[in-house]
């Protein structure tokens, strides 16, 4: 049996996350996008030097390393939420302050290759977890950051969050350092 993830309804996520979910929903198969994003990140960022990856497009913006580290943090947090809710755990899950996480992590001290590798490993683990879920578990609702969220919405959010940041990197960052 092949898992099919249908588009989540708007009552399955906080309106803020629509900016991640709606573009992915318009393009089609979210499950195919999960592994494809690994290659997209490696292609876009894999040849950068650590010095190049310290580029920021404005004084108060994150560096490329910080953007990549942030994508890793969110991958990990959304995956935790996804697993908890898919297992029918109804414990309300906390939010997080992304700027605090980035500031405290010290991503600029990480090699860019390690940040990319970390994403790849987490994404492979998430793909395995998702592909072995039942359709019923993907429809389950829980609470995160004080709002309802479904497992399938979280899967769309995994993809949409990466797409959001990769678009920014391609638009604002990478042209300035190539």
CA distances from 65 to 12, 52, 68, 107 (A): 32, 9, 5, 6
Query: Is 0.85 surpassed by the pTM of this model?
Result: yes
Secondary structure of the chain as H, E, C letters? CCCCCCCCCHHHCCHHHHHHHHHHHHHCCHHHHHHHHHHHHHHHHCCCCCCHHHCECCCCCCEHHHHHHHHHHHHHHHHHHHHHHHCCCCCCECCCCHHHHHHHHCHHHCCHHHHHHHHHHHHHHHHHHHHCCCHHHHCCEEEECCEEEEHHHHHHHHHHHHHHHHHHHHHHHHHHHC
Would you state the pLDDT for residue 26? 87
pLDDT, average across residues 84-97 = 97
Would you state the pLDDT for residue 126? 98
Assign residue 97 a region: left if phi > 0, alpha if psi is -120 to 50, beta otherwise? Answer: beta
Would you state the pLDDT for residue 96? 96
Q: Answer for the pair 154, 76: CB distance below 8 angstroms, yes or no.
A: no
CB-based contacts of 123: which residues, under 8 Å, 6+ apart? Answer: 34, 35, 37, 38, 75
Would you state the pLDDT for residue 54? 98
How many percent of the chain have pLDDT more than 90?
94
Mean pLDDT of the chain: 96
Q: Using one digit for the tens of pLDDT, what is the confidence trace for 148-177?
A: 999 999 999 999 999 999 999 999 999 999
Sorted by where each begins, the domain ranges of the chain are 10-177
Q: Using one digit for the tens of pLDDT, what is the confidence trace for 15-61?
A: 999 999 999 998 888 999 999 999 999 999 999 999 999 999 999 99
Topology given in CATH for the domain delimited by 10-177: 1.20.120
Would you state the pLDDT for residue 28? 80
């Amino acid at each position: 049996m092949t898992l099919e993830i249908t588009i989540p309804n708007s009552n399955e996520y906080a309106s803020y996350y629509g900016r991640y979910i709606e573009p992915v929903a318009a393009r089609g198969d979210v499950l195919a996008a999960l592994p494809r994003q690994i290659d997209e990140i490696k292609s876009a960022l894999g040849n950068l030097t650590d010095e190049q990856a310290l580029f920021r497009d404005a004084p108060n913006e994150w560096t490329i390393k910080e953007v990549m580290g942030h994508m890793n943090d969110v991958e990990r947090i959304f995956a935790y939420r996804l697993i908890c809710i898919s297992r029918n755990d109804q414990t309300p899950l906390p939010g997080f302050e992304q700027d605090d996480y980035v500031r405290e992590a010290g991503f600029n001290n990480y090699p860019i290759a390690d940040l990319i590798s970390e994403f790849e490993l987490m994404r492979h683990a998430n793909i395995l977890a998702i592909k072995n879920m039942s359709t019923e578990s993907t429809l389950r609702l829980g609470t995160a950051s004080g709002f309802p969220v479904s497992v399938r919405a979280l899967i769309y959010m995994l993809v949409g969050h990466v797409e959001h940041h990769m678009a920014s990197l391609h638009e604002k960052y990478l042209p300035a350092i190539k």
